[in-house]
Amino acid sequence: MKFGVIRRMSSSFSRALDLLPPSLNWVNNDFYTGSGKGLDVINKATGGVVMTSASASDADVHNAVQSAHAAYQKFRDMPAAERGQLLLKAATLLEERTADFAHLETLDTGKPFYESEMDVGTGVDALRFIGGIVQNYHGNHYDLGGNFAYTSREPLGVIGGIGPWNYPLQTACWKIAPALACGNSLVYKCSEYTPLSTVALAALLKEAGLPAGVLNIVAGDGSVGAALTSHPDVSKLSFTGSVPTGKRIMSKASDSLKKVTLELGGKSPLIIFDDVDMKNAVSTAMLANFFSQGAVCSNGTRVFVHRSILQEFTSQLVERTKKLKIGNPMEDGVKVGATICKMQYDKILNYLDIARKEGAEVLCGGGPVTPDNPDLAGGLYIAPTVLGNCTDDMTVVKEEVFGPVLSILVFDTEEEVIRRANDTPFGLAAAVCTQNLSRAYRVISKLEAGSCNINTFNAYPAVIPFGGYKNSGIGRELGEECLNYYSQTKSVYVETGDPWCPFE
């Protein structure tokens, strides 16, 4: 697996194939041959198998945890400034190899190459931000009039990370950076659908100077995650994925009182008021729905549009959505790539069938697409879809589709739309489009969501925390706040004189 600074090879997967690793598991700073069942890595654009590697077994997970536990005993004592410098070096290396990692990410996820480049960039940002602030992350001193007390932040131990298939590299960076910055070691389970960039990241961190055993990667399906979740030497679990899986992980973690961070699903509202710049409002709706073939947990799939501008907004949105180029994700100009797997493909199409039956109107898209290129015949492609005539009680409006499906809902008053926007068990994200900033601040303050935007969507820079309310999760990624979830507080009281004691 040899990385170098290269330029993109347009319309070709040859560079990604050159970068395939010898194994999908990484233990003790080396590729590790698992003893689990075979795991096929699929080129999502073509449907072809590009490599097969053994996944991790329960015994392999145990070995990875033991490696992490042994490494933790020394790594926790590395000064925070040195851990930060290690992450900063890794950020520089990753940035230099953006094209290589983007090739792997596009092969693995099916998303357009330009999106994969963006995902590498957000991973770099996380490593760089966390690496830059950790040496100033500390406890407090309390003057008690002669005596004093202080607090310190200490690592938790071995962290178990479980990543999703839609943003494999970005999410790995979001979890690995704070875990290592705080002095923990980590065993990270990448998705069985998208394992490539995560194991490549582990090799890069070794090059940056990460000691052996501090980061370990195990690949495989839910059984691998279950083994990691139940392991007695894992102190905390950080999971990104679906609400049902997150609840199962939390339930299992409670058996041993493991700490948990959960970044789960959403059904986020985007509210378009009548005073918007129409082009920008349409752009925001597209940003909220069509990245990564719609597989974004924070997507604003419930688009509430003021009645007075409904016709104009819908016309412009449909016109622009129809122009989105679908096809080979390595080609310039392609905006929509391939769906991750047959199960997800069928799930999205089923939601569209239900939407039609329940009265939604398909304004554009609404089904499969067969690209002209015969090489892509084995890929699974769905046209970006805009649904009109939607109501709050429709299945497609209430449940997370995780596909390129935008539902338009009409509203009349501010109070009404706030109530309807909050009428969901989810609370990951929300956004408001308006030129009236007083109204923007007022409405945002009343929306029950953890990660909000005004006049854009899905903008989450590394400096601010990301996470949700209600069923959308527990804890936060990014921002300085994320370090609180990868460390624990020790309180120390210091008696400088004779201790007070009433006992003779």
From the list 52, 45, 67, the residue with the least C-alpha distance to 196 is 52
Quick check: 433 and 284 in contact, CB under 8 A?
yes
Kindly list the distances between the CA atom of residue 327 and the CA atoms of 47, 386, 413, in Å, as whole numbers in the listed order. 13, 19, 40
Amino acid at 48: G
Q: Which residues contact 56 (CB under 8 A, 6 or more apart)?
A: 25, 34, 35, 36, 64, 189, 218, 219, 220, 224, 227
Tokens of 334: 């392609």
Q: What is the pLDDT of residue 11?
A: 52
- Angle (CA) 147-150-155 rounded to 5° is 155
- pTM reported for the whole predicted model: 0.95
What is the distance, to the nearest Å, from the Cα of residue 384 to the centroid of all Cα atoms in its chain? 21
Angle between helices 168-181 and 196-207 (to 10 degrees): 40
From the list 150, 148, 179, 149, the residue with the least C-alpha distance to 162 is 179
Q: Which residues contact 254 (CB under 8 A, 6 or more apart)?
A: none
Q: What is the pLDDT of residue 13?
A: 81
**Phi/psi at 291 (nearest 5 deg)?**
-70, 150
- Helix H, strand E, coil C: the string for 178-209 is HHHHCCCEEEEEECCCCCHHHHHHHHHHHHCC
Question: Counting beta carbons within 10 angstroms of the beta carbon of residue 92, is it exposed (0 to 12), middle (13 to 18) or buried (19 or more)?
Answer: middle
What is d(CA 244, CA 227) in angstroms, rounded to the nearest whole number?
17
Instruction: Transcribe 142-180 into DSSP letters.
Output: EEETTEEEEEEEEE-SEEEEE--SSSHHHHHHHHHHHHH
Kindly list the distances between the CA atom of residue 182 and the CA atoms of 137, 454, 482, 489, in Å, as whole numbers in the listed order. 9, 32, 10, 12
DSSP state of 462: T
Q: What is the dihedral of CA 76, 80, 84, 90, to 10 degrees?
A: -20
- The single residue listed with the structure tokens 């480049």 is 117
Tokens of 72: 């933790």
Q: What is the pLDDT of residue 9?
A: 41
Kindly list the distances between the CA atom of residue 137 and the CA atoms of 73, 116, 149, 235, 481, in Å, as whole numbers in the listed order. 21, 31, 18, 21, 10
Query: Tens of pLDDT along the chain (504 residues)?
Result: 444 433 344 456 888 888 899 999 999 999 999 999 999 999 999 999 999 999 999 999 999 999 999 999 999 999 999 999 999 999 999 999 999 999 999 999 999 999 999 999 999 999 999 999 999 999 999 999 999 999 999 999 999 999 999 999 999 999 999 999 999 999 999 999 999 999 999 999 999 999 999 999 999 999 999 999 999 999 999 999 999 999 999 999 999 999 999 999 999 999 999 999 999 999 999 999 999 999 999 999 999 999 999 999 999 999 999 999 999 999 999 999 999 999 999 999 999 999 999 999 999 999 999 999 999 999 999 999 999 999 999 999 999 999 999 999 999 999 999 999 999 999 999 999 999 999 999 999 999 999 999 999 999 999 999 999 999 999 999 999 999 999 999 999 999 999 999 998
Instruction: Transcribe 303-355 into DSSP letters.
Output: EEEEGGGHHHHHHHHHHHHHT--BS-TTSTT--B---S-HHHHHHHHHHHHHH
What is d(CA 430, CA 445) in angstroms, rounded to the nearest whole number?
11
Q: What is the pLDDT of residue 4?
A: 40
**Phi/psi at 75 (nearest 5 deg)?**
-65, -35
- The single residue listed with the structure tokens 């520089």 is 92
Active site positions, annotated: 263, 297
What is d(CA 138, CA 469) in angstroms, rounded to the nearest whole number?
27
- Cβ count within 10 A of residue 69: 18
Q: What is the pLDDT of residue 12?
A: 66
Strand partners, 42: 49
25-26 vs 141-144, strand pairing mode: unpaired
Q: Which residues contact 502 (CB under 8 A, 6 or more apart)?
A: none
- The single residue listed with the structure tokens 């230099």 is 96
Q: Mapping DSSP to helix (H, G, I), strand (E, B) and coil, where does residue 289 land?
A: coil
- The single residue listed with the structure tokens 């040496």 is 135
From the list 2, 361, 50, 362, the residue with the least C-alpha distance to 203 is 2
